[in-house]
Amino acid sequence: MEGSVSLCGIRYPSLKNSRGREKYKHFKGQTRLPKYAVPKRYDLTLKPDLSACTFTGAVEIDIHIIQETKFLVLNALQLLVDEVWFRSSQQQEYRPWDVVVDDDNEILVLAFDDVLALGDGVLGIKFSGILNDIMKGFYRGTYVVGGEKKNMASTQFEAVDARRCFPCWDEPAIKSTFKITVEVPSQLTTLSNMPVIDEKLNGHLKTIYFMESPVMSTYLVAIVVGSFDYIEATTDGIKVRVYCPVGKSDKGKFALDVAVKALDLFKKYFSMPYTLPKLDMVAIPDFAGGAMENYGLITYREIELLHDELHSAAVNKQRVSYLATDSLFPEWNIWAQFLEQNIGGLQLDALEGSHPIEVEVHHARSVDEIFDAISYKKGCAVIRMLQDYIGADIFQRSLASYMKRYAGKNARTEDLWRVLSEESGVQVDAMMDTWTKQKGYPVISVKSKDHILDFEQSQFLSSGSHGDGQWIVPITLSIGSYNTRKNFLLETKLRRLDTSELLGYSDSNASSVEKMNQDKQNNEQLWVKLNVEQAGFYRVKYDDTLTARLRKAIKDNYLSAPDRFGILDDSYALCEAGKISLSSLLSLMDVYRKELDYTVLSRLINISYNVTKISIDALPNAFDELKQIFTNLLLFSAE
């Protein structure tokens, strides 16, 4: 061992084994663990010491040797390994002659003198580690009870931090069952993925035995140790509990109500029951993310779970219940608000340095780097775009089929596309590959002449530069009314659409030339809106004629709030990129004078602020005039 680190106020030996520096080079720098063996079951025991901020543990892993080997390689990080043994199915025991913990590569290498034969066996490891204060792995937090500050312990294993708690095959595709036992002070509450099946007291300590879990990935394993109050309810025989800070259980009532309703909602939506005997939700004082969907034990940052009817802001209810918001609280109009959240994805993906949704991960730590607005906001936006194109009912049936087909198994992105293609009859894989495997998104330019619409796609970049991306774009458009709608795929750079049939006239069917000409004149005044309800992840640039019609439609209140939002947001982005003039943007904004929708008005205010801010340096002579324009623009809504 070399050097030391300080965690939780104590000095602890660093865990780089000096012998491992030059040895076993062929195991280092690899994206995945070598496939010598696969785990089937973990029997894990942990003993946290909350005062010393340390823990000891032992794990017995049922493994299947799939390749004769003298080595076993697992993941481990910042663990001291005290003892290792392997017992074959013939009860022959092997001890490794070398044990190397390599923190740089986050692996544990076990070298045996004898070849481990094909077949089943049990790998036993005793180890110890630190309850760290970085909110990863098995970590410590603090809470206050009766004015006294105390330590607690909880886990956060996503994406690749189960290895900080126990040696394991810490890759999502390598699934196992888990039987967990925890020894803790008798006065503390201890939770894990599954219900408690036994509890034994031994003086001031108690040992908690949990039911064995279904097959799952290591990153979904969870343990929480601390002092909590809880409230509970039961639905379909499933016990649902919300664990809150001591004395604050009333703040968990809203979350409990939502959870019970959400279980029923998701059961119907996915045509699949909740498969665990319980669902616990726990408010953690020290938590890095918003929430973590551990199997049967969902951990939350306190503000994301607890709600005070007297003091919490209304938006807190949406955070607590966002998974089921649209169905349980339709009055919140969450899809309109979704557009506001989606801006971050559109802005980031318009940069030349963006990245695709799907990227190759060459090192475990790289996973954290792609948890950004592209993965989250663009990711969910393109799924919504797909749902809108193929239809909500087909999309729902597809997800139900997908869940049944791959339950307890591993799946790739292509597997989801395959099921969606089967259900919808649309070649979803070809379309979605253009959205997930390349960066960026298009701007669709549309021009109108008589009853002809000409479309052209090009990559949108906020710098105004030219990009060479091309997409299969699910176009939705309405003409003059939301009842007159057409969906089609723009699979090439250019396309022309004759709207005659859509608008209900053609030369061959016209009762008279005079009536047909009159219909055409009327239809030439109709507004055309692409990306209906702003469900697509692309921008639209209209020619001057279509822009003028849309301004009138907005002024006359013919368009929905999402469409008003989309036209405004697209125009601002195009102006920033130098694709339309500032005067064009201001002319559009002028028809929003009587806007009262919260989401649209919020965007209008933000754009007004941004333009004013930019004008201080870019257009100093126009600053006062712009300020007055925006003041007049927002006067109606302010009153």
**DSSP per-residue letters across 517-546:** HHHHHHHTTS-EEESGGG-SSSEEEE-HHH
Please name the amino acid found at residue 464.
Answer: G
Query: What strands lie across the sheet with 278-284, from one edge to the other?
Result: 229-235, 238-244, 278-284, 297-301, 291-292
28 vs 78, higher pLDDT: 78
User: pLDDT at position 600, please?
Assistant: 93
Closest by alpha carbon to 546, among 452, 625, 483?
A: 452
User: pLDDT at position 12, please?
Assistant: 38
Q: For residue 634, is pLDDT > 90?
A: no
User: pLDDT at position 388, please?
Assistant: 92
Q: For residue 562, is pLDDT > 80?
A: yes
The verdict on domain 442-638 having CATH code 2.60.40.1910 is yes
- Rounded to whole angstroms, the Cα distance separating 434 from 591 reads 36
User: pLDDT at position 7, please?
Assistant: 45
User: pLDDT at position 618, please?
Assistant: 78
User: pLDDT at position 46, please?
Assistant: 98
Q: Which of 1-5, 122-126, 478-482 has the lowest mean pLDDT?
A: 1-5
Assigned fold of 228-332: Neutral Protease; domain 2 (1.10.390)
Q: For residue 519, is pLDDT > 70?
A: no
| Alpha carbon distances (Å) from 255 to 292, 303, 393 | 15, 11, 28
User: pLDDT at position 580, please?
Assistant: 95
User: pLDDT at position 15, please?
Assistant: 36
Number of residues that this document lists for the chain = 639
- Residue 213 carries which DSSP code? P
Q: Which of 48-52, 149-153, 235-239, 516-520 has the lowest mean pLDDT?
A: 516-520
Please name the amino acid found at residue 531.
Answer: N
Q: Give mean pLDDT, residues 90-116.
A: 95
User: pLDDT at position 22, please?
Assistant: 60
- Rounded to whole angstroms, the Cα distance separating 227 from 356 reads 43
User: pLDDT at position 329, please?
Assistant: 59
Report the DSSP beta bridge partners of residue 292: 299
Q: For residue 327, is pLDDT > 80?
A: no
User: pLDDT at position 331, please?
Assistant: 57
What is the architecture, at CATH level 2, of domain 355-436? Answer: Orthogonal Bundle (1.10)
How does residue 86 score in pLDDT terms, banded at 50, 70 and 90? very high
Q: pLDDT per residue over 166-204, tens digit each? A: 999 999 999 999 999 999 999 999 999 999 999 999 999
Q: For residue 18, is pLDDT > 50?
A: no
Q: Give mean pLDDT, residues 483-488.
A: 94
How many other C-beta atoms lie within 10 A of the C-beta of residue 365?
A: 11
632 vs 398, higher pLDDT: 398
- SS3 sequence of 99-150: EEEECCCCEEEEEEEEEECCEEEEEEEEEEEECECCCCEEEEEEEEECCEEE
Q: Which of 84-93, 557-566, 626-635 has the lowest mean pLDDT?
A: 626-635
Query: What strands lie across the sheet with 98-102, from one edge to the other?
Result: 69-75, 107-116, 98-102
User: pLDDT at position 215, please?
Assistant: 96
| Alpha carbon distances (Å) from 367 to 77, 101, 127, 359, 375 | 16, 22, 26, 10, 11
Peptide bond into 159 cis (omega under 30): yes
User: pLDDT at position 304, please?
Assistant: 85
Q: For residue 609, is pLDDT > 60?
A: yes
Q: For residue 510, is pLDDT > 60?
A: no
- Rounded to whole angstroms, the Cα distance separating 229 from 275 reads 25
Instruction: Report residue 394 as tokens.
Output: 């087909």
CA 172 to chain centre: 16
Classified as helix, coil or strand, 575 is helix
Instruction: Report residue 453 as tokens.
Output: 């619409």
User: pLDDT at position 318, please?
Assistant: 64
- Rounded to whole angstroms, the Cα distance separating 208 from 189 reads 10
| CATH class of domain segment(s) 4-226 | mainly beta
User: pLDDT at position 514, please?
Assistant: 52
What residues does each domain of the chain span?
Answer: 4-226, 228-332, 355-436, 442-638
Question: Do 228-332 and 442-638 have matching folds?
Answer: no
Classified as helix, coil or strand, 48 is strand
User: pLDDT at position 434, please?
Assistant: 96
Q: For residue 261, is pLDDT > 50?
A: yes
Classified as helix, coil or strand, 247 is coil
Q: Which of 217-226, 266-275, 330-339 has the lowest mean pLDDT?
A: 330-339
What does pLDDT average to over the chain?
89
- Rounded to whole angstroms, the Cα distance separating 459 from 470 reads 7
How does residue 320 score in pLDDT terms, banded at 50, 70 and 90? low
Q: pLDDT per residue over 24-34, tens digit each? A: 888 988 888 99
User: pTM of this prediction?
Assistant: 0.86
